[in-house]
Each structure stands twice: as structure tokens, then as C-alpha cells.
Amino acid sequence: MTFLEKLRAAQKRSQSLLCVGLDTDWRKLPESLKGEANPVLAFNKALIEATSDIACCYKLQMAYYEAYGERGIAAVRETLALIPNHILTIADVKRGDIGATTDLYAYAYQDLFEFDAVTVSPYMGFDAAEPFLRREDKGAFFLGLTSNKSARDFEYLELKNGKLLYEEITDKVREWNAPKQNAGLVVGATKPSELRALRERAPELPFLIPGVGAQGGTIKDVMENNGSGLALINISRGIAGASNGPDFAEAARKASMKYVEEMRAA
Amino acid sequence: MTFLEKLRAAQKRSQSLLCVGLDTDWRKLPESLKGEANPVLAFNKALIEATSDIACCYKLQMAYYEAYGERGIAAVRETLALIPNHILTIADVKRGDIGATTDLYAYAYQDLFEFDAVTVSPYMGFDAAEPFLRREDKGAFFLGLTSNKSARDFEYLELKNGKLLYEEITDKVREWNAPKQNAGLVVGATKPSELRALRERAPELPFLIPGVGAQGGTIKDVMENNGSGLALINISRGIAGASNGPDFAEAARKASMKYVEEMRAA
């Protein structure tokens, strides 16, 4: 099954575009998990059980697991084993390095951990991206226009050719996507009008859209401006942080349902 | 001791600009190490013992350790414990993410592993960089002009303001460096004339210069074009891969001495 087929099938089955962000901070877990052997894993397990029928994707922000040392790496493996096979998994790593190094990153996230996709920083250009695009069953989402304030520093720079930097990158990602249809773009939900323009510019690219909830984006804005384009809408804190009490999983499900209903209504 | 003081002291003591790259690939180790409990660690230990009197810095390319799973993470910790305190250590991670996530990366590489510095991808702008710059005893090297061919894709883009993208980034990194003198720039040794121009543009920034050896750059070109600016010249394969036999450490030392003599002669 190609990356695109898996993405489409997961969305059809869940009837949603919901990507649940598992950005699990070991320092901020509900008290009720403190007795667990690996509290991070226990948290993820409860969250997956509470949302796997309405999520089409889980995204693990690797910073949280790297900062937890070896236990974090073990938690990544074990979390992935708990996610049903028909649901997409993304390693949010934003890697990008010379080819020989990216080879290793591709091995790590595609073969060792067996994620379906990764996020990639495009700065170093194609040879830093290409190892992530060799397999047609694995995808790579490139940073296009990110959800943070300082996206203004470089992403919006005006080029001599009349484009903005993030537009130039989008055009390149379209080229990189052409051979195997396995590239996508990260576009922040916090920039609705730019999202609309990028959707017109790259109608065929799947978008990974973070920034709904804590960062200020809304489902309504995303749905209106993304239209019928392929998209994964990521929510992390809005779901995982819905409650910090023993009812965290139940609260996460309620929050997820609310987001999914907004998606379905649009 | 500030980051800059540590860098200067390490260079004075070693009388060199040599940064030894520990990009240790578990699949390509000398046969003689196959019986070791952690062959990656054993390789690094031998390399450190063979070079620590003439190196001012060790750089660990984290891709190699991430791809080795939990054993890799353990090897990072244990390798760092073997490096004498007066020598600088760099986590080559090229991270860069929204602030809340970069917080975690900064915690991981500065506090948990206790590296002296990291490499950072600048694409997402200042708020993605700032957590790495909070401590004056820790440094961050931002990707400026990288050593790979596809640096042409984006780094050389001409901006409407007349600069190239990597020049604009260099100017921003100078601003970010001003408060605590703890930012630096990655500049590939494969682009000598650009190195010279960047050195003039940012005389105060320490440069981390990869690309000598396997990638085609030479010490002579770097020394001529960097002049008297603060720089770390990274060599990975040219030292660690000098021999794949049981004499690998001895060969690594010979190769290192040759590079260091070229630096001292210049």
C-alpha cells in the first residue's frame, strides 16, 4: 500500500482528519500514573485507547522522548506497537542533514521504529530530503509555513523571483512529490489566508496542519481554507492536556469528539 | 566559564582547531571490536584516547546514535563521560521547532546529556532558536551555508533586499549572538570563497566548518579563507575511517596529526 493509499484509507475509516499529537511530557503527567513502570507509555496507551476509532493519525513529537533518555526511546517503540496498523504514524523530528546522515535518519524512523512518515526541515535542499522519499510506502512532510510567530524571520522573506521563501519551498516540494506521491507540507493553522493560497498552489499535496488549540488556530478556519484538500489536522495539548486528573483519557476523548464533530460538520 | 571562554581555552591547550567527528556507524566497525559489549562505545573510546591531546572538540552526529536505538543513546552518555572536561562537545542535531518543543531539545542536549553546544536549523526563526541561547555557558551553531550540493536549492536564493538567504541568516545569527556571545555559524569547507566573504561579514562569530576530507574541502582552503577567525574544523570520515583494521586508532591519530600540522603551518 502506498503512503497516499494508507492516508486515504485511514481517513475514510475514521471519518476524520484528526491527528492526535502524543507530545507526552514526563514531568507533567497526571498523578494517577505515577506508580506505572513507564508512566509515559501508560499515558500514551490510555490516550490511544480513548481516540483510536476517531483518529486517522498519531504524531509523536520526538523532543519529548529524546529528553526522557533511554526510557523515552523505549516508550516510542512500545507506543507504536499499541497503535492499530490502519492508522498513520508520524515522527515529528524535523530532521534534514547531508545525504549520508539523512540515510541514517531514514533508517531510524522508517525501518527501526517503523513510522509511516516524518517531518523534515527543507533548508539544506533536495539531497538532504531524498533518503526520506525513496520508499513509496513512507511519507515526508516538509516545513512550509510553520505556526510559530518567528516564521516571519525567514519563511516570509521576499525573493527576487517574486515569491516568498515558503512559496518557493512549496514549489520544490511539489517537484519532490511527483515521482512517488509521498511528500507533503507542514502548514500552520494559525495562518488561514496563507493556508488557502498554499492549497491553491499545491492542490495535490497532503498538508500536516498543526497549531489548532493552544497556538490559536481553529478547526473552522482550517476547514474553510483547506477546502477538500488532503489534510491531517494535528491537535496535541487540546486533547492530551484536556484534563490532568485521573479522568484525563475520558476528557481527551470528549475533546477529540468535539474537534471531529467540527470537522465533520464542515 | 562562558561558551566562548571554553572554546578559546580548548583551542589554546590543544594548539589546534580540530573537531573530531564521532559519526560512529555500528554497521561499519572494525572486526576487532565485534566482541565488545558496546562496540560503538569501544570505538569512540579508542578514538578519544588517540586524539584528545590534539583535538579541541568532539562532535557527535546524533543520527548514528538514534539509528542504533537505546544502545545508541547509552553510547552517547558514556562517550561524553570519556571526553576530558576541557574539550568542547557538540551535539550535531540540527534541531529547530516551536518554542515549547525547542525547550525540551535544549533540556535534552544541554542538561540531560550535557553537551557544550548543538547545531540548529534556522528555518523557523528566532523563537525556535532562543531556548538554545539562554545559557551563556552553552553554544548553538546555526546552519548558514552547508557543505552539500543541494545547498543551492534554497540557501543561495536571492532575496529582494539584495542578499542571499544564507547571508540574511548570518546577519540574524549575529543579532542572536550579541546578548551572550554564544551563537555560531555552520559554514561548509567546500565553499572557500563564500567562507571568506562570510568571515568578513561576521568576524565575531565562531564557525563550525564541516566538509574537509570525504566531502572535498581542504585544510589549506579553510585556513586561507577563514583567516584568524574563531573556527572549529570538523573531520569525521578522514579520521574515524582512516583504517578499518585493528590499527584504526593508530591510523586515526596519524590522520589527525597530519590535519593538525596543516592547521599549525597555516
Are the beta carbons of B159 and A154 separated by less than 8 Å?
no
Residue A94 annotated to the active site: yes
Interface check for B215 against chain A (CB to CB < 8 A): the answer is yes
Residue pLDDT, tens place only, A257-266: 999 999 999 8
Which residues in chain B touch residue A151, judged by CB atoms under 8 angstroms apart?
Answer: 124-125
pLDDT value at residue A201:
98
Are the beta carbons of A121 and B121 separated by less than 8 Å?
yes
Cβ burial, residue B21 (10 Å; 0-12/13-18/19+): buried
Interface check for B185 against chain A (CB to CB < 8 A): the answer is no
- Residue B216, sorted as left (phi over 0), alpha (psi -120 to 50) or beta, turns out to be left
Are the beta carbons of A98 and B148 separated by less than 8 Å?
yes
ipTM above 0.90, yes or no: yes
Given pLDDT bands bounded at 50, 70 and 90, which one contains residue B213?
confident
- pTM here? 0.98
What DSSP state is assigned to residue B111? I
Closest CA to B45 of B17, B232, B37, B94: B37
Q: Which of residues 77-106 of B touch A (CB under 8 A)?
A: 77, 92, 94-99, 101-102, 104-105
Average pLDDT over residues A217-223: 97
Q: How far apart are CA A72 and CA A24, in angstroms?
A: 10
SS3 A198: helix
Closest CA to A132 of A183, A86, A98, A90: A183
Helices (H), chain A: 3-14, 39-51, 62-66, 69-82, 99-106, 151-154, 165-177, 192-201, 219-226, 237-240, 248-265
pLDDT value at residue A215:
87
Count of other CB atoms within 10 angstroms of residue B203: 12
**A23 contacts A236 by C-beta, under 8 angstroms:** yes
**B188 contacts B151 by C-beta, under 8 angstroms:** yes
Count of other CB atoms within 10 angstroms of residue A179: 11
Please check the confidence at residue A213 and state whether its pLDDT lies above 90. no
Of A61, A70, A157, the CB nearest to B165: A157
Residue pLDDT, tens place only, B9-31: 999 999 999 999 999 999 999 99
Are the beta carbons of A150 and B126 separated by less than 8 Å?
yes
Average pLDDT over residues B33-39: 94
Q: How far apart are CA A254 and CA A125, in angstroms?
A: 41
For residue B233, CA distances in Å to A199, A203, B92, B186 come to 43, 44, 14, 10
Q: CATH topology for B3-265?
A: TIM Barrel (3.20.20)
SS3 B107: helix
Average pLDDT over residues A131-157: 97
Provide the β-strand partners of residue B158: B164
